[in-house]
Amino acid sequence: MITTLAIGLSLALLLGIAAQKLKLSPLVGYLVAGMLVGALFVTAQPGGSTLWGIAVDASTVNDFSHIGVVLLLFGVGLQFHFKDLLAVQAVALPGAIVCMVTRALFGAVFYYWLVQDSGWLSAMLFGACMCVSSTVVLTRVLADNKVLSTPAGHTALGWLVVEDIFTIVLLVLIPVFFGGESLGPALGWLVVKLTLLVFCVAFLGKRIIEKTLTYVARSTSDELFTLSVLVIALGIAVLSSTAFHISLEFGAFLSGMVVGQSKFAARAASDALPMRDAFAVLFFVSVGMGFRGGEIIEHWQLALSAILLTFFAKPIVAYIMVRLLRKPSRMALMVGTSLSQVGEFSFILASLIAGTYGLLPDYAVNVITGTAIITITLNAALYRFVPRLVKYFEDRGIGVKQSSGGLPAPAEDVNRVIMVGYGPCGKILTDILSSYHVEVVIIEMNIDTVTRLTRQGKLVLHGDARQRTILKLAGVEKARAIMITSFAAPTAEITSAARSISPDIAVMAYTAYHQTAFALRKEMPKGDENSLFFSGEEEVALAMTSTLLTYFGATEEQIARETAHARDSFTRTAILRMKKRKAPQDNRI
């Protein structure tokens, strides 16, 4: 077993690094590593020859891959929040449903047409496997291209939430439909067992899980907390399978949702997700080990159809749906392109359908694996050109509406920030925000600076940010935040003007002195969490402290604790100074 794990993980590490260097998803490296393990270290017959006489036990890798699947679904549940779906439901819900149905029908038609002696049932199941994109790949691609936090990124993630729910429903229903029992009673029992399982885990189990994690957290042992998370994930998965006869995957997803709603969600994610990733690597290696390239060549027509369906038909249908829902072409292009791949859930579905119930031939699973490898590679390589393509067209006024003030109207799918002042601080902030595809509108009083920025193609207005007219021309109604980057700017007046137009806008301002920042904080309404004031004195002191503690070998936790303590100290000092100023003068000796 140790040899098997060492070979599989070592090859996965080397090829994952190679894929990363080539700016591809590491998943490609893991799958190729599985192919090499299957070709070099696994024999089809007992006693067959292998490289250097070392044999790998495929069943061991397969067993560990099941743990990877369970932890993968636990991680999905841990990061699943209905509020994220509700925020983009107007686009993600109808768009994902229509696209999945369309892609499944296209896949079924291709399969039925190209595969002889195939029935519509197998064709529809093949189509279902082809209509689910990879959560791991999409998240990584969006993050690498710095669009994960944009409205287009949020929509794509919401889209995937719908696809994940669809996959989990299939994993629950497939054993019912093809388990050999009468459909009516089986569905009835499924509803009863699902209700009982959800009640036990979501209501009764939630209290037990909360108390258990609280008790373990107080022990200050990181190992025990990690072990607790692992026991909860695997324990509830096994409980759902043995006691309620529902798939392990659904139980793991449910347990992840329960932990994700607790106060330990962040710590559980930080502890469990690295462990999940380690076992998930073995899952992808296991998938690669079962891949047979010869079958792809033999059934090249089906493979080519699957690749074209995934890489072209999926994004085109998604693009059309987003545009039909009256969203900008920028969002449609980014969402559609991000979905042009299939991944882990396609493997899980295909393995269940083919391996457990024999409803798909093995070569169909190989076609899905080959399609995943090719589309993941192409998706990661080509997506980085999409933001550049969008910017190229927008710089030339294509697809950009003009407002009465001459600036492009605030795009619905872009986060807009208003930058007051373009000194060194404003320039740094503008460059960073622009690299993350945040739309920055600059308000600047220096006409020479305005002229230069206009030539550079930046969104800039010449005027006083205290004037409501200027703020409206800058699109303050649609802006997420206004940043005042000059310590000499009339911060209170600008904040008042901006809030009179957009009451919920976030305000961030730079001041030279700590006392000034504290006074501005005191002037804001009680409970206002959208106003942040930064002083040069505070930030320099904190930066120097953090650097020095790092030099002395302090941990991140110690640095964070000392930084928080210093901020509290700043606040207490400012309160004392204000009280002294208000106190009556006493000249007695």
Read off the pLDDT of each residue in 235-259 and give the average, rounded to a whole number.
Answer: 76
Q: Do residues 511 and 469 touch, judged by C-beta distance below 8 A?
A: no
C-alpha triplet 186, 192, 194: angle, nearest 5°: 95
CATH class of the domain defined by 416-582: alpha beta
Which pLDDT score is estimated for 58?
A: 65
Q: What are the φ and ψ backbone dihedral angles of 360, each rounded to 5 degrees? A: -130, 140
Which pLDDT score is estimated for 403?
A: 47
567: Cα separation from own chain's centroid: 31
Residue 407 confidence (pLDDT) above 70: no
The pLDDT tens digits for 345-381 are: 787 788 888 877 788 888 888 888 888 888 888 887 7
Residue 507 confidence (pLDDT) above 80: yes
Read off the pLDDT of each residue in 205-216 and give the average, rounded to a whole number.
Answer: 78
**Does the model's pTM come out above 0.85?**
no
Which pLDDT score is estimated for 419?
A: 92
Q: Which amino acid is at 56?
A: V
Average pLDDT, the chain: 77
At residue 28 the predicted structure's pLDDT band, cuts being 50, 70 and 90, is: confident
Which pLDDT score is estimated for 589?
A: 31
Q: Do residues 303 and 370 touch, judged by C-beta distance below 8 A?
A: yes
Which pLDDT score is estimated for 586?
A: 40
Q: Do residues 548 and 495 touch, judged by C-beta distance below 8 A?
A: no
Which pLDDT score is estimated for 585?
A: 43
Token reading at 109: 């038609």
Helix ranges, 243-360 (H): 248-260, 265-289, 293-298, 300-308, 314-324, 329-338, 344-351
Token reading at 547: 């650097």
Percent residues over pLDDT 70 in the chain = 81
C-alpha triplet 40, 42, 48: angle, nearest 5°: 95
Can you give the C-alpha Rg of the chain in angstroms?
Answer: 28
Q: Which amino acid is at 179?
A: G
At residue 572 the predicted structure's pLDDT band, cuts being 50, 70 and 90, is: low
Residue 85 confidence (pLDDT) above 80: no
Which pLDDT score is estimated for 582?
A: 47
At residue 587 the predicted structure's pLDDT band, cuts being 50, 70 and 90, is: very low
The fold adopted by the segment(s) 2-174+273-387 is Na+/H+ antiporter like fold (1.20.1530)
Q: Which of 87-101, 203-217, 263-277 has the highest mean pLDDT?
A: 87-101
Q: Where exactly does CATH 3.40.50.720 map onto the chain?
A: 416-582
Q: Where exactly does CATH 1.20.1530.20 map onto the chain?
A: 2-174+273-387
At residue 258 the predicted structure's pLDDT band, cuts being 50, 70 and 90, is: confident
By three-state DSSP, how is residue 552 classified? coil
Distance of alpha carbon 305 from alpha carbon 173, whole angstroms: 27
The pLDDT tens digits for 31-40 are: 888 888 777 7
Read off the pLDDT of each residue in 100-115 and give the average, rounded to a whole number.
Answer: 88
Which pLDDT score is estimated for 156?
A: 84
At residue 577 the predicted structure's pLDDT band, cuts being 50, 70 and 90, is: low
